[in-house]
Structure 1
Amino acid sequence: MGAQSIAALDDVPPEQLQAGRAPVVPRHSLPLIVDLDGTLVRTDTLHESLLALAFRRPWHLVGAVAAMRRGRAVFKRHVGRVSVLDWAALPFDPHVLSLIERRRAAGDPVHLVTAADQSIADGVGSALKLFETATGSDGSHNLRGSAKAAYLAERFPDGFDYVGDCVSDIAVWRETGRATLAGGSKRLAMRLEGEGLTTTMLPCHRARASDWVRLMRPRRWLANLLLFLPLLTAPEDGRADLVLRFGIAWLLFGMAGSAANMLGELGDLALERRHPIRRSGPLAAGRIGIGTALTLSFVLLAAALAGGALLGGTIAVALLGYAGLLLVCHPRPGRMLAGLLGAAGMAAILLSAGLMLAGHPLV
């Protein structure tokens, strides 16, 4: 890729690991500056904070909207003050953490500098205890792009190394003449190479096909086969004509269920990340972003309701009730009874919808 190649970050060479020899860690003379969102953590802490407000303290969103009109830095300060995140449970990028540990072992100071609000920088810094300092936006100035570049150039006039992940970081990398890129964006790496910046690309954490399948919760789709039970009671001469309607309805219930499951998981991200199994899920681990999951869930739910309206207004109502019940009864520790009642309610909705599709009156 161009005259300069993009190098992967390597561990200590094997020849340095011979018996009786301590690893020789390359010595760096410059401080390492680490970005937060999309770099140190595989998520956006502002999105995380807004999500926490929406599900836990929705009344604070009114103040957040008002603060947005006064500037992005003011908006971040307001959201940071009224939301509480589980700092230690955030999905940290292991490759960035490894780089930090190596640079610390070499004696280099490491600083966290982020466009997130200072309260978030302080929370992450206190949780990790890896940084000399943690600096964020101060409520007046948004520490991003050229503003961050100017700040770092003034604070570290003798130079620094910087780890970032997005286009807004290019201004910072221009100050250093080299880039360490997290997140695995090959397009951004090519752009950096085109500007003559020596680029070191950290391993990426892209979503796999299995992550998208897992996000859709296929077992829920199998449970929805209960919808077909009333089809067996339909007259045989008209049953074949109903199969297509039932198949479409089953697809719509699957879409609505997937949407509700995504929203439920987003609302419980902190709990998901503390669970020994679910913390490896695509949302909890940050392989699929919050914005992507929200968009997909709303698209699926809207498409399901629109399709339900075409099948009949009562089917659309059943779909909405099914999704709402699934969201309210999303599995949580210590709520087994609520989960059982929710499962019973969803089964009743599926059977009722099947009876309506088969032409049986409910009353």
Structure 2
Amino acid sequence: MASLSLSSIAGSDHHRPLCVDLDGTLIYSDMLHETVLGILRVAPLASLCLPFWLLRGKANLKQNVAMRAEFDPATLPYNLDLVDWLRQQHTLGRRLILCTASDHSIADPIARHLGVFDEVISSDGMVNLGGANKAKALVDRFGERGFDYAGNSSADLAVWEHARRAIIVNASGQVQSDAEACAEVEAVFEGRNSGFAVWRKVLRVHQWLKNALLFVPLFASHRVADGEAWMALLLAFVAFSLCASSVYIANDLLDLESDRQHPRKCKRPFAAGAVPVWQGVLLAPVLLAVSLLVAAQVSSPFLAWLVAYFGVTCLYSIQLKQLVLIDSLTLAMLYTLRIVAGAAAVGMVLSFWLLAFSVFLFLSLAFVKRFAELQVQLLHGKHKAHGRGYLTDDAPLVQMLGVTAGFSSVLVLALYLNSEDVLRMYQSPHWVWGTVPVMLFWISWVWLRAHRGEMHDDPLIFAVRDKASLSAGAAFALFLTIGTVG
């Protein structure tokens, strides 16, 4: 929301040009940070040139980065309150100028997309138009106090000192106070609140539920009373959760373009500009380092599996998720790897049956995820899922593969229940057979909901919110418990 001073409605001042900053003001993000990430995504080898470009000046760095990075101005996280106000000012005949330290090859497409700016003043590869340089350029062009200026940071104070009026956007309390001392304030557009709820989304805390798979080997081997194993697995859970959060952050940073074209993922903190991308760049390696330190306290085999999980996840984020079928197989392996790591944490050897059941079940859920995403893209009239190798026409085939994998997991479970291991481990093995119809129901239920377009694109979120899924999970656990105690 914006608070406007009475002077902002004075019609006699609409002839005075209004210069608007880009990074952090017109958009919630920073285009230099985003374009550098874009280079890391599409041309990682070119990132080795960044220090050499910077040696020739920040303007040269921005120009070289902008030349190699692609972006869609329509998907950027605009400050919509400010944009609406600028449209009103444009309608009233006010001259609007986009004045930014970003390179002209970045600023020009954004100005054309919005269609409210009469002119663009930006960096040109020689002069970095920020701070004092921006102030000098505007004073040379419009004279002392001959323009109004909208900005957000302490670097803009040098401009506000020479401006007639200040429009304060998305600024801290200190910057706002300093700006009020420099110039008459015409309008204030308050920033977003990046509190606990936002950071919970950044870390994807709800995704930590997947790491409960680490405890599966403990229950499968009937070692629930082993206190030492519980302590090891709790540390393992913390290590995996922190590692997963670091990977999610890196994935969100590399996937900004795709997320912004997705109807739900566009609301993620980095895609929406609620959290600056530079904070994610700093946080991801810190979380990974802490994760590895915690994992080292568990055991060397567990640490090795955690490193393997991190490596495969990075490969998935960078390349594998763009490959048809390989992406779903990789997701299934990553789920199964959690169970393998849990076994390593407590010094267990996994059975063939548990591994086979896990692979088929998680492959089915991976196909559910892809099918749900394709359903969303199809509803929005798109022929291809952005950032994925699938066409929307592939949805029926993905559905068939997923259903087949799901029922294959039930078949493995049924064969396992006829093995000598079940007779040895369960007091009343005939009760354990109750898990088979439960699994048949749940797999069918999940795919029925997906077919109806009622599936969240993350099956985990669906499962923990769906009453039928929770009831099926409770029934599954009940049959196993009765079979164990007799």
TM-score bin (small chain): 0.7 to 0.9
Contact 1:322 1:346 in 2 (8 A): yes
Of structures 1 and 2, the one with the larger relative CO (CA 8 A, separation 6+) is: 1
Residues 274 and 25 of structure 1, relative CA distance in 2, 3 Å threshold: farther
For the aligned residues, what is the CA RMSD? 2.6
Question: Structure 1 regions of 5+ residues with no counterpart?
Answer: 1-6, 12-23
Higher alpha-carbon Rg: 2
Assess if the C-alpha contact under 8 Å between 1:256 and 1:301 holds in 2: yes
The within-5 A match list for 1:180-219 is 180-195=167-182, 197-198=184-185, 200-219=187-206
- CA 1:236–1:97 in 2, change beyond 3 Å: closer, same or farther? closer
Letter in 2 for 1:99: W
Q: Give the conservation status (yes or no) of the 8 Å contact 1:95–1:203.
A: no
Separation in 2, partners of 1:229, 1:324: 23
Aligned match of 1:89: 75
TM-score (norm 2): 0.66
1:302 aligned residue = 289
Residue of structure 2 in register with 1:109 after alignment: 95
**Against the structure 1 CA distance between its residues 101 and 312, is the aligned structure 2 distance closer, same or farther, given a 3 Å change threshold?**
same
Task: Choose the corresponding residue for 1:164, options 151, 167, 175.
Answer: 151
Judge conservation of contact 1:330–1:339 (CA < 8 Å) in 2. no
Q: Deviations over 1:248-272 (max 9, x none)?
A: 1011111111111111111110110
Structure 2: segments with no counterpart, 5+ residues = 352-486
1:352 Cα deviation after fit: 1.4
CA gap of 1:264–1:77, structure 2 versus 1, over 3 A, is same
Which of 255, 262, 281 is the aligned partner of 1:268?
A: 255
Displacement after TM superposition at 1:78 (Å): 1.0
Assess, with a 3 A threshold, how the Cα gap between structure 1 residues 57 and 236 changes in structure 2: closer, same or farther: closer
* Alignment check: 8 A CA contact 2:75 2:260 kept: yes
1:250-308: CA deviations, max 9, x gaps?
Answer: 11111111111111111110110011111111111100110111212111111111211
Does the CA contact (< 8 Å) of 2:163 and 2:183 recur in 1?
Answer: no
Amino acid at match of 2:333: G
Q: Give the alignment's TM-score, normalised by structure 1.
A: 0.88
Give distance in 2, aligned partners of 1:243 and 1:147: 60
Cα displacement string for residues 205-236 of structure 1 (whole angstroms, at most 9, x for unaligned residues)? 23242221122223321111111011125575
Cα distance in 1 for partners of 2:186, 2:94 equals 20
Is the CA contact (8 Å cut-off) linking 2:23 and 2:29 kept in structure 1? yes
* 8 Å CA contact 2:166, 2:183 repeated in 1: no
Please name the residue that 1:179 is paired with: 166
Does structure 2 conserve the Cα–Cα contact (< 8 Å) formed by 1:234 and 1:358? no
Instruction: Give the distance between the partners of 2:3 and 2:168, measured in 1 at CA.
Output: 10
Q: Given the superposition, is the C-alpha separation of residues 236 and 92 from structure 1 closer, same or farther in structure 2, using an over 3 Å criterion?
A: closer
How far apart are the structure 1 equivalents of 2:224 and 2:35?
56
How many residues were matched structurally? 346
Q: CA deviation at 1:66?
A: 1.0
Aligned partner of 2:51 in structure 1 is 65
Residue of structure 2 equivalent to 1:143 = 129
Q: CA deviation at 1:33?
A: 0.5
Candidates 319, 325, 345, aligned match of 2:333: 345
In the other structure, the counterpart of 1:56 is 42
SS at match of 2:44: coil
Alpha-carbon distance in structure 2 between the residues aligned to 1:104 and 1:167: 27
Q: Call closer, same or farther: CA 1:25–1:272 in 2, change over 3 Å.
A: farther
- 2:321–2:327 Cα contact (<8 Å) kept: no
- Structure 1 residues 186 and 199, CA gap change in structure 2 (3 angstroms): farther
On the 8 A contact 1:31/1:111 being kept in 2, the answer is yes
Residues 123-138 of structure 1 aligned to structure 2 (within 5 Å) = 123-138=109-124
Asked if 1:246 is matched to 2:233, the reply is: yes
1:70-103 per-residue CA deviation (whole Å, 9 max, x = no partner) reads 1111111111111111122111111220221111
Deviation of the 1:338 alpha carbon:
3.7
Contact 1:37 1:44 in 2 (8 A): yes
Match of 1:359 among 344, 347, 351: 347
Distance in 2 (CA, whole Å) between partners of 1:324 and 1:94 is 39
Match of residue 207, structure 2, among 220, 223, 228: 220
Q: Which residue of 2 aligns with 1:4?
A: none
In the superposition, relative to structure 1, how do residues 330 and 64 fare at CA in structure 2: closer, same or farther (>3 Å)? closer
Give the direction of change, closer, same or farther, for the CA distance of 1:31–1:199 in structure 2 (3 Å limit): closer
Aligned to 1:20: none
Helix, strand or coil: the match of 1:329?
A: helix
